[in-house]
Amino acid sequence: MSSMKHVDNIPSTPGKFKEKSHYNRLRLHFSVAKLTFWSFVFLGLIFICFFKSTSSSSSPVSSDLSRRSLRTSSYDGPAWEKRIKASAKIRSTNGISVLVTGAAGFVGTHVSSALKRRGDGVVGLDNFNDYYDPSLKRARQTLLESAGVYIVEGDINDVALLKKLFDIVQFSHVMHLAAQAGVRYAMENPSSYVHSNIAGLVNLLEFCKNANPQPAIVWASSSSVYGLNTKVPFSESDRTDQPASLYAATKKAGEEIAHTYNHIYGLSLTGLRFFTVYGPWGRPDMAYFFFTRDMLKGKSISIFEGADHGTVARDFTYIDDIVKGCLGALDTAEKSTGSGGKKKGPAQLRVFNLGNTSPVPVSDLVTILERLLKVKAKRAVMKLPRNGDVQFTHANISLAQRELGYKPTTDLQTGLKKFVRWYLSYYGEGKKSAQ
């Protein structure tokens, strides 16, 4: 009966029931104890997370490139600024001041070195991610530093870092080569391509549009934008709306983004569609590189063929020829027309193929490597997988020849000979392990 009385005392409207003082004291005591308990739990989690993050700094980096590349090394200070100013110093008449993103990359290293040799001011920027062996990037960094090029370690998505760099140096040009490369890796980590190739490009353009004066920008697109095109050779006027991979789609998106910033803000933009670049200090994820590694180790190499045993061929372009095209694009780039984010007139917008115009079957590439390495390859012929790779690339370079004076001079035999000489020197005598 007493229990029924207690139920009758509970009102139908929540929150209006006045509890007895003894019950209030018990509830208050319980709440304080509960609050104390969860406070200790929360502090404990912070303690654990802190030590976990501290220990992880000495462990292998996370495999997620989109998170990994956001990390930026500490910067600022007089010594840091002094190194940047020294690296950016122009030493030739009519020289230019260039920020090279992705400077520790394959193309970035060669372009930075060539600019410095001719007396231009060069500052590099690179996040040194581990998409492939970071020690190779560090070796390139050492090479550039010996030539007087300083590479700032940081991410192109770091707005504060970009502001500091432009506050220290009034760059006349930006050579934007930083990107997440590789066709096949997009199936494993698609977010890294969006982070670097789209978000990174937009962040850089956003900063450049607000700079005063705005720099002229040359950036790396890709022959991959031609996607499933069957018309060859590929010309800049051909359709590029059928990408075969996410990587290609992000590069195509980059070209559309460049058009937008040119149209709205007056940025001078030149896109370069590279065709299968190879040579010394190259990328370990490229076929010519890992074919060399595996052949020397006696491992089998996979050679793909298209439908009905069709030939898979690439327009292999030697790095020195690509560098000439990059410098030609920088030298012919007109000034941006905007100021402080406002367009004041039409601005230059261009796109060029940089290839070799001589597609070579991948099987022929292997034959050349066999001759240079004096090793018989263990060939495993298989069908071209549906991973974004295309069967054939072939560049029409007439526009680049006319506008940039671009003229490739290195055939595959000569270029591979130079690559093999570098490879054996760099990885030889058990000094390093090609990963």
* Mean pLDDT computed over 99-127: 98
Q: Residue 213 maps to which CATH number? A: 3.40.50.720
Residue 347 resides in a domain: yes
Angle between helices 200-210 and 246-265 (to 10 degrees): 10
pLDDT reading at 427 higher than 60? yes
Angle (CA) 146-419-431 rounded to 5° is: 65
Confidence of residue 384 (pLDDT cuts 50, 70, 90): low
Single pTM value for the model: 0.81
Is-contact 129 201, C-beta < 8 A?
no
- How high is the pLDDT of residue 391? 64
Please report, for residues 38, 62, 89, 185, 269, the alpha-carbon distance to residue 246 in angstroms, rounded to integers and kept in the order given.
45, 22, 39, 9, 23
Q: Say how many domains are in the chain.
A: 1
* Mean pLDDT computed over 147-152: 98
Residue 345 resides in a domain: yes
For residue 131, which of 89, 87, 68 has the smallest C-alpha distance? 68
pLDDT digits (tens, 9 = 90+) for 301-345: 988 765 554 567 888 999 999 999 999 999 999 999 998 788 999
Residue 115 resides in a domain: no
pLDDT reading at 15 higher than 50? no
Residue 62 resides in a domain: no
Domain range spanning residue 258? 179-277+318-356+394-410
Is-contact 193 246, C-beta < 8 A?
yes
CA distance 103 to 106: 8
Angle between helices 200-210 and 159-168 (to 10 degrees): 40
Residue 203 resides in a domain: yes
The amino acid sitting at 146 is: S
Residue 191 resides in a domain: yes
Residues whose CB is less than 8 angstroms from the CB of residue 60 and which lie 6 or more positions away in sequence, other chains included = none
Residue 205 resides in a domain: yes
Residues annotated catalytic, as ranges: 247
Residue 312 resides in a domain: no
Confidence of residue 148 (pLDDT cuts 50, 70, 90): very high
* Mean pLDDT computed over 8-16: 36
